[in-house]
Structure 1
Amino acid sequence: MSDTLTDGRKLRVFNILDDCNREALAVEAGLFYPARALVETLENLNKEIGEPST
């Protein structure tokens, strides 16, 4: 998701949602969100709750 601030800069929000119970597992916001930060967020989430079962 993204939005624009009054000074023209973009605010970006990275959301990870559980579709079954509509729980927000991770919400990260910032003016930019590099790929390394995305990987770190996913790794931290994996440490906290583990991988999904099939």
Structure 2
Amino acid sequence: MYRVYCELKLNLRVKRKKRIPPRCPERLLVPNKQGECWSMDFMSDSSRNERRFRTFNVIDDFNREALSIDIAVSLPAGRITRYLDKLAEYHGYPLKIRVDNGPKFTGKSLLIKKKHMV
């Protein structure tokens, strides 16, 4: 049976899922002053007529104040970078920004922005 199976070239190898390499998370330090560290994340919800929308939240970690919430049906990376620039003009640039490990903050324009902020 195995010989026939191999002759018909049915013995294709099974592709395994790529594993994410293990990472060493840093301990979360409590900021000492306002504007030292911000946290950013996306959330989604739907209205009564089942239309989906997303929110982009920026929070100051020192006093847990919501600095801003941007709400839209679509939030492309260009809009997020412009929004962060306006927020930095008003509050000043933070020393550190925390984000989750999701794929939402991996766009090319966001990576370029991160290089300029550091």
TM-score by length of 2: 0.41
**Percent identity between the two aligned chains:** 37
For 1:39, the equivalent position in structure 2 comes to 81
Match of 1:10 among 52, 58, 70: 52
The superposition leaves residues 1-54 of structure 1 with CA deviations (integer Å, 9 ceiling, x where unpaired) of 001234443210000001110111110001111111100111001111111247
Higher strand share: 1
RMSD, aligned α-carbons: 1.6
Tell me, which stretches of 5 or more residues in structure 2 are unaligned? Answer: 1-42, 97-118
For 1:48, the equivalent position in structure 2 comes to 90
TM-score by length of 1: 0.81
Tell me, which stretches of 5 or more residues in structure 1 are unaligned? Answer: none
- Equivalences, count: 54
Give the Cα–Cα distance (whole angstroms) in 1 for the partners of residues 94 and 65 of structure 2.
14
User: Which one has the largest radius of gyration?
Assistant: 2
